[in-house]
Amino acid sequence: MDAKPDRQAGAPESQISDKKIAAFRRLLEAIGEALDLNASVRLWDGSTVPLGRNVTSPLTVTIASPGVIASALRRPSLDRLIRFYAKGRIGLEGGTLIDLGEQLQDQSTRKRLRHLRKLKTVKMLLPFLFAPGDKPEAARGYAGDDTGHGRQQAENKDFIQFHYDVSNDFYRLFLDPDMVYSCAYFTEWDGGLEQAQQDKLEMICRKLRLKPGDRFLDIGCGWGGLVIYAAKHFGVTAHGITVSEEQLALARERIAAEGLQDKVTVELRDYAELTGTYDKIASIGMYEHIGLANIPLYFATMRKLLADDGLFLNHAISRRAKKDGRRFGKRPEHKAITRYIFPGGELDDIGHSVQAMEQQGFEVQDVEAWRRHYGRTTKLWCERLLARRAEAEAMVGEELTRIWLAYLAGVSLAFTRGSLRIYQTLASKQAKGPPVLPPTRADLYR
């Protein structure tokens, strides 16, 4: 017997008897008994099934129709689930995916699920397998080749603008007042986002040993937070580049509002097109966008731009290196992020990044891990966006808001679990003259 085809969402519900739906509820109850979560599932008929023995949380997974289950069973994939979620066919109320993910991150989760009787589980799901399924509608995604393979440098602008040119007002909903869109630095784990972002900007400037008169370059300057901070507090002459027109416009407004036009400039330019010489260079959260094949060009360009006695800080998300030394394949999570959030994005491992820097003539001075800092940063972003969800939906629509909430939650969980990492790597050119750094790091923490 062939399974019935998917149908468009919104079509009449498949004729699944109350008896069979009751069997599915019993399956959910068995899953709840095994996992004992503080959450529930609400089905299309309005009934609620607790996923634990003593559920007190309002956290609720919603399923809009039996066709969602049928479709997911026949063609299980992360992309299909994302489409259902983006269109509201699967939902989450009373919390975020972080709240649910934190309950599921226990290593014993899979072991507990193994106690479910497989034959009984199959019998409970069988009616859905042969029922009409909901066809997942396409969600907003990048229209071109989101992998970035074989990219031309001109495509970098398309990739970045897809992500950043959603609208400046959208990012204002969850970022700090200075619109700093990268990992914050928490001196206390329960600290607030605003102070942590100020502390991050301060730490970057200290690591680079910025001083009055330095020519400072920020690769991927965003909305201008770092170049403005460096000019105001360290007296540098700063220049920033971005390939996002939305970011450029706001950065220029902010520079003018601070009266820093004679100290800070920003322009729309790709890093590969830059010329000139700079005493200090920062690249904060930009390395992930260049593509693994372009790493030699990227570091060679940074070295060419850096003064002989200068310092370069590379702040980048990374992945754990593979045991066999091979490069990374494309996991479903990565494919989802490049399709819906960051087209062209690829993550390096820190060992290869350091090796590539040395191969281009850099001497690595310091490597610092900030993984837990980014786990908390993205969690706070997710919570802030959720708190202003209605405004976000009015601004960019329900679908994009859902995708962003899922993205921020997923990234936070990945940093918390360690599947994503982030490092700040400080480097200089190969030493030929006097030391460019003091003998200790004590000045960083004064």
Across the 446 residues of the chain, what is the mean pLDDT of every consecutive 10-residue run?
50 56 82 88 92 93 87 79 85 91 73 62 68 64 43 45 66 96 96 98 98 97 97 98 92 98 96 96 93 94 96 95 64 57 75 97 96 97 96 91 89 91 94 84 87
User: Which CATH class name applies to 155-445?
Assistant: alpha beta
Q: pLDDT tens digit string along 125-164?
A: 766 666 666 776 655 543 444 344 454 444 444 444 444 4
Pairing of strands 215-219, 60-63: unpaired
Residue 383 identity (one-letter amino acid) = E
pTM of the predicted model as reported, rounded to 2 decimal places: 0.85
Domain ranges of the chain: 6-135, 155-445
Strand order, beta sheet including 215-219: 264-268, 237-242, 215-219, 278-284, 306-319, 420-429, 362-369
Position 409 scores a pLDDT of 92
Cα–Cα distances in Å, from 382 out to 61, 392, 407, 411? 18, 12, 9, 10
Pairing of strands 48-50, 237-242: unpaired
Position 146 scores a pLDDT of 39
Position 6 scores a pLDDT of 55
Q: pLDDT tens digit string along 27-83?
A: 888 888 888 899 999 998 899 999 998 999 999 999 988 888 888 887 777 778 888
Position 284 scores a pLDDT of 97
Position 157 scores a pLDDT of 45
